[in-house]
Each structure stands twice: as C-alpha cells, then as structure tokens.
C-alpha cells in the first residue's frame, strides 16, 4: 500500500457549493488539476479557476438533461485504479485512462426537496442522484489511494495536508471514507422511506432506516458512568431543540437536553405568553398570562421548592422584566430556551445573578405550530416507534357528564389542566388555578396516590382548582380525595367500567366533570 500518494487530479462535482471556491483555489495552489461537470464547472470558472470539462476528457457529452455525465470507464477506472497493482496500471495505459486521486462530491438535495410543502413526485424523483453516490462509493472503496470529500467542513483538513506534502495521510482518507458511506447511507435511507410512505400510505415503512448526524459528544449520560451523544435528524425543524443556537453558558448535559425539550413542547402548545418550569422531566410549574413576566412568576410559584435548579422555556422573546424576575435572590436556573432574548434581558441574565456564568441560554427562533412526527424509544433488541402525542385535541368531542356545568373561568382552567396533564409522567394529575399549574402528581402506580401528591403540592391552592387526569378514574376514591381538598372541576378521558360511580360521586360532591374521550399516557 502506498501510504501517501501525491494528489495530482481531482474530480469535483457538488450540489452544495459552500466553501468550494476557496477549497478549489487551494487545490490549484497545491498543483492539483481539476475535472468538473456542468454547474460546478461554470461556478469554478466564474471564480477564475481553470477546469477540465469531464465531457472533453471522456469524449462523451452530457446527455438527458445531465442524467448521464460521469458514468464512464475513464472516470471510474481512474478512481478505482489500485496503484500497487501492475495489471491495473497496464489497464490504464491500454485504455488511455488518467488516475483520479481525489473525488469531491456531495449529492442532489433529495431530503430538502421532499421537505418542501407541495413538492411533486416528479420533482422528488429528479433529485435522486445516480452518478454522485457511485463516485463517492468508488472513491471510498479505494481510500487506500484516493481521498474523498463529501462535506464542506472536510475541506480545510484536506487542504492543510496538501499544502504540507501534496498528499493526505491514510488515517484521514479512512476517516473520510467512513463519512462518505454514512453520507450515501443517509441519502439512500431518505429515498427508501419516501417510496415506502408513498406506496403504503402509512407512517411506518416495512424497513425503518435512520440516518442521524452526530452533533455533539456529551460529558456523560443520565449518570456520570454512562457515555452519551446528541444526534440530529436531517433537516430538523428550525424551532426544534437540535436546531437551537446556544448563546451563553456551560456545556449542555444529557439531562438538560431532555428537560429543555419537554419544557419547549409545553410552551409550543400554549397560544398566549407562557412559561414552563421542568424538573426531572416533569413540569413543576407552568402558566400563561398577558405579560411574559407574569406568566414566569406564576409558573415559578407553582412549586417554588422544586423550581430551584430547574430548566425553563418561554414561547415569547424573553424581555427585561422577565429576566429581572429570574434574577431575584434565591432563584437558581440551569437553562432557558426561548424564541429569542431581548438585548436587555441577555445583559441581565449574563451579568446579574450568581449563576450568570453557567446558565445555558438557547434561542430557537419563531415557534411553529406542532406537526405530526415520530417518537422513538429503544427496547432490548429493537425500537418502539409511534406518532408523537403533540397535536391538539378536538374539543367538539368533549362532554360535560355531571349535573353541574363549568363556569367560564373553570373552562379555561380545565383546558389548561388537560393540556398540562399530557406532559406529566403517568399516572398524571395536574391541578390548575387561574391558568397556572399549582399541583402535580406524577409517575405513581396508583391514580389516587397521584391525586394525593398533587393536592399536597398545591396546599390551599387546591381549593377551587381544576384537575386534569391523563387517564380515567377507575374508582371514585380519586374524585373523593380531590373534592375533599376543594377541587371544583375535573377533566378526564372517561371510559372506565366505573364511570357511572365516578359521575355519581361528582354529583353528590358538587364537582363538575368533563369527559374528553382521549387518553394521554406518558410513560
């Protein structure tokens, strides 16, 4: 094996031209001649870089609107030529083939194309690259001698080694080959899923291909002895957590990311100015108000003890008034995610509180309405996949099943309690008062235990509150406990064999109850 073959000729044909002019200029400076095609050739020539047209080299013109251009033995022979094989060298000489020492290719934007609303099947199919993946795979296979680049962020390392000794190291070539196969695998996965969805009309194709990019190595997982990393889906929504821009603070941890995602999901579901406070992946506070600072105060007051060292999310730009509130003595915030931070708020949060140097501030931009997506959870030997429980319920299906009807203010609190219950671990109970969370019971094996915990958390605020339960009450005991603490209204799915008993208890206790017909377990 030749460890460091001199790079004399590169084939360059890219869809993403980011950083290409600068990279090509460094190739020329390293005495590398460039072969190129169509749009890439014109781009390079417009930047004053001399290029040999692939069609001139192969003596075959591009045809069929560019569908056929690089698929030729003079191209693939030059890439796959093994420099340490006499028979390969003889074949090159016999057929007039020149070695190609580097392949710089990235593929048609298929995933970006199908992500556009209203894209046609014909448009999608035209973005299926044929020559590109073949070139990339050929170069990666022959990485013992050939350097392959599939992303602009690889250009600098390649150019630096070329400038030093006109070659690349075997270690770099092998690393780039692995990245190349990951690139084509992700590309093929997107195409396979597109066809599976189109043919079956189902959300779950017969074979599920996941092509995720590692975005960050984390310090550790849920616990210090566990390793962890963050991966992102291709073309993740701009307002998703993996697309967020960190403006300030320490490195994000595995638990920070879980909590931030849960907090962000809550405020996305609330139309008015809202704040959510998350601790150990459960909401310990949430509220809406006309002003963001008022929502923040009500959310933090939901469970002040648990709110210490929590993660917060907002669905509006964080303003100075909100930042002043968060900086009050006695408060401690781990991380905040929001559409944006006003300059005055950013100044306050990064200079005033004791935790100013460490707090993570994440900006996600304008929040979009929730869209249908998948949730993934691993089990031993496999993966559970479901559609996410993130779309609004249909209130036309709700029924008041008690003699007592809810008041207008109770309706508002019932909606709020019902929405928050879906973000609490089952068995979930959420108490709301004035559209603010005032008590939560989470993750108990018995629903009545969750009711008791929520009541204990709420204290006097339970009186007159609305209770949301993610699933039905199997017995009347949970309703009786809630009514005994002063809960005035309850919203739950219904569907228990003991619904009549539960409704009868509400009527006897003067509590109004709504059945929604939909459950919101979160295990």
Tell me the catalytic residues.
Answer: 141, 280
CB 303 within 8 A of CB 457: yes
The pair of structure tokens assigned to 193 is: 């899923």
Backbone angles phi, psi at 65, to 5 degrees: 55, 35
Closest by CA to 333, choosing from 370, 298, 296, is 296
**Cis bond upstream, residue 479 (ω within 30):** no
SS3 139: helix
Query: What is the C-alpha end-to-end distance of the chain, expressed in Å?
Result: 54
The pair of structure tokens assigned to 498 is: 């003991």
Closest by CA to 439, choosing from 469, 479, 412, is 469
CB 393 within 8 A of CB 518: yes
Listed in sequence order, the residues at least 6 apart from 125 whose beta carbon sits closer than 8 Å to its beta carbon are: none
Closest by CA to 38, choosing from 155, 158, 151, 131, is 131
- Cα–Cα distance list, 228 to 47, 105, 215, 222 (Å): 43, 31, 11, 8
Separation between Cα atoms, residue 27 and residue 40, nearest integer Å: 15
Closest by CA to 152, choosing from 217, 106, 96, 86, is 106
274 strand-pairing partners? 288
337 strand-pairing partners? 313, 362
Torsion angle of the four alpha carbons 166, 172, 174, 177, in this order, in degrees rounded to the nearest 10: -90
- Cα–Cα distance list, 102 to 55, 159, 283, 319, 507 (Å): 18, 12, 53, 52, 79
3 strand-pairing partners? none
Token pair 């809202």 in the structure block, residue: 274
Separation between Cα atoms, residue 189 and residue 274, nearest integer Å: 38
Token pair 């907002």 in the structure block, residue: 314
Closest by CA to 292, choosing from 323, 264, 262, 263, is 323
């Amino acid at each position: 094996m030749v460890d460091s073959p001199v790079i004399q000729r590169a084939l360059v044909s890219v869809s993403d031209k980011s950083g290409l002019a600068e990279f090509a200029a460094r190739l020329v400076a390293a005495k590398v001649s460039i072969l190129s095609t169509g749009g890439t050739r014109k781009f390079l020539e417009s930047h004053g870089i001399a290029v040999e047209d692939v069609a001139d080299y192969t003596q075959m013109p591009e045809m069929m609107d560019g569908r056929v251009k690089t698929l030729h033995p003079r191209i693939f022979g030059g890439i796959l030529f093994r420099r340490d094989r006499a028979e390969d060298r003889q074949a090159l000489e016999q057929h007039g083939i020149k070695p190609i020492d580097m392949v710089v290719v990235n593929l048609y934007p298929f995933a970006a194309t199908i992500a556009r609303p209203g894209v046609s099947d014909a448009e999608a199919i035209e973005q299926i690259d044929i020559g590109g993946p073949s070139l990339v795979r050929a170069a990666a296979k022959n990485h013992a001698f050939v350097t392959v680049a599939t992303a602009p962020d690889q250009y600098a390392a390649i150019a630096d080694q070329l400038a030093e000794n006109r070659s690349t190291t075997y270690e770099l070539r092998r690393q780039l080959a692995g990245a190349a196969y990951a690139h084509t695998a992700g590309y093929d996965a997107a195409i396979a899923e597109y066809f599976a969805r189109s043919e079956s009309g189902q959300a779950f194709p017969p074979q599920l291909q996941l092509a995720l990019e590692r975005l960050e190595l984390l310090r550790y997982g849920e616990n210090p002895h566990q390793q962890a990393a963050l991966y992102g889906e291709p073309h993740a929504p701009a307002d998703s957590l993996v697309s967020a821009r960190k403006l300030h603070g320490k490195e994000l941890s595995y638990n920070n990311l879980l909590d931030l995602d849960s907090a962000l999901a809550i405020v996305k579901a609330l139309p008015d100015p809202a704040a959510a406070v998350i601790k150990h992946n459960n909401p310990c506070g949430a509220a809406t108000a006309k002003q963001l600072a008022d929502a923040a105060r009500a959310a933090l007051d939901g469970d002040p003890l648990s709110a210490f060292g929590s993660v917060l999310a907002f669905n509006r730009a964080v303003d100075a008034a909100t930042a002043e509130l968060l900086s009050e003595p006695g408060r401690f915030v781990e991380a905040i995610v929001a559409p944006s931070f006003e300059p005055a708020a950013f100044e306050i949060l990064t200079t005033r509180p004791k935790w100013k140097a460490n707090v993570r501030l994440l900006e996600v931009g304008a929040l979009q309405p929730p869209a249908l997506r998948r949730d993934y959870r691993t089990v031993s030997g496999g993966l559970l996949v479901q559609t996410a429980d993130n779309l609004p319920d249909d209130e036309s299906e709700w029924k008041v099943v008690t003699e007592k009807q809810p008041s207008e203010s109770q309706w508002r609190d019932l909606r709020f309690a019902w929405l928050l219950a879906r973000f609490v671990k089952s068995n979930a109970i959420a108490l709301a008062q004035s559209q603010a969370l005032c008590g939560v019971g989470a993750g108990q094996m018995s629903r009545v235990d969750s009711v008791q915990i929520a009541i204990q958390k709420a204290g006097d605020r339970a009186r007159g509150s609305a209770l949301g339960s993610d699933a039905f009450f199997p017995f009347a005991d949970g309703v009786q406990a809630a009514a005994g603490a002063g809960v005035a209204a309850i919203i739950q799915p219904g569907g228990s064999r003991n619904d009549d008993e539960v409704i009868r208890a509400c009527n006897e206790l003067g509590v109004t109850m709504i059945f929604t017909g939909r459950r919101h377990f979160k295990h």
